[in-house]
Structure 1
Amino acid sequence: MTHWAIETLTPDPNRQQSILSKYFNPVVCGIIGFGAMCAINYGTRRPILSGIQMHALAAAVGVGIGVAGDKYGGERYSERDAVLKHYIELHPEDFPEPERKKFSQILEPWVPIR
């Protein structure tokens, strides 16, 4: 009865994470760290790339924050899915299987107004 609802929350074991979703947060956070150091140098009227070691350090810290954010998000969403699955198992009467409809039953007839 609730098999369809639990199936929607179960991840596909054959799905591979795309390169964009895997590296997006660390790369963007690294760029933000590098850009922040450039902005600090610009604000203090120093050459933008002076103290390049601080730029590299800020970029590395940004990448670390991006990786930690991805890990935190993954744990948070897996915990949420576990809570939802448990609720579905305890309350199957709240999740009846939806009836299948065709597009002709969903769409209203179109009447052009001129």
Structure 2
Amino acid sequence: MSAHLSAIDLLKLGDEDRKKPFLNQYWPYIIGVPFGIGTGVMINFGTRRPVFSGIQKHVVGVAGWCALLNYVQNKRDAYFAEKDAVYRHYIELHPEDFPTPERKKLADVFEPWVPIR
């Protein structure tokens, strides 16, 4: 992959070029399991029963939380995909607004350092 990409090249990178974070695909389950178990525990605590009695409440809670968070993740992915498509379309229509940035050396970016004693 080139070190210097234009704006449209950055948006056209395919899935094989982008590395997704590990937790990005598992966060609904990592959060859904404790929340689902906690929901069953809180229901039992509120009704003055032993906290882990009625295991079906815990199973339904885990399934419900995981399904809800999975739905949220899918909506979030669709939102960002649409947002990227709008950006890509705008950049394709107006390439003059997005010139390829010129290369700079690090020495040109930093100001000279003057020690103050």
Task: Please give the TM-score of this superposition, normalised by the length of structure 2.
Answer: 0.81
Report the structure, 1 or 2, having the larger helix content: 1
1:31–1:62 contact (8 Å) kept in structure 2: no
Per-residue CA deviation, residues 54-105 of structure 1 (Å, 9 max, x unaligned), is: 1100101111112212211111111111100111111112111111111111
2:6–2:101 contact (8 Å) kept in structure 1: no
How far 1:16 sits from its partner (Å)? Answer: 5.6
2:44 to 41, 46, 55: 41
Aligned to 1:77: 80
In structure 1, runs of 5+ residues without a counterpart are none
How many percent of aligned residue pairs carry the same amino acid? Answer: 43
The equivalences for 1:19-38 within 5 A come to 19-38=22-41
Task: Please give the TM-score of this superposition, normalised by the length of structure 1.
Answer: 0.82
Distance 1:47 1:94, change over 3 A: same
Aligned to 1:96: 99
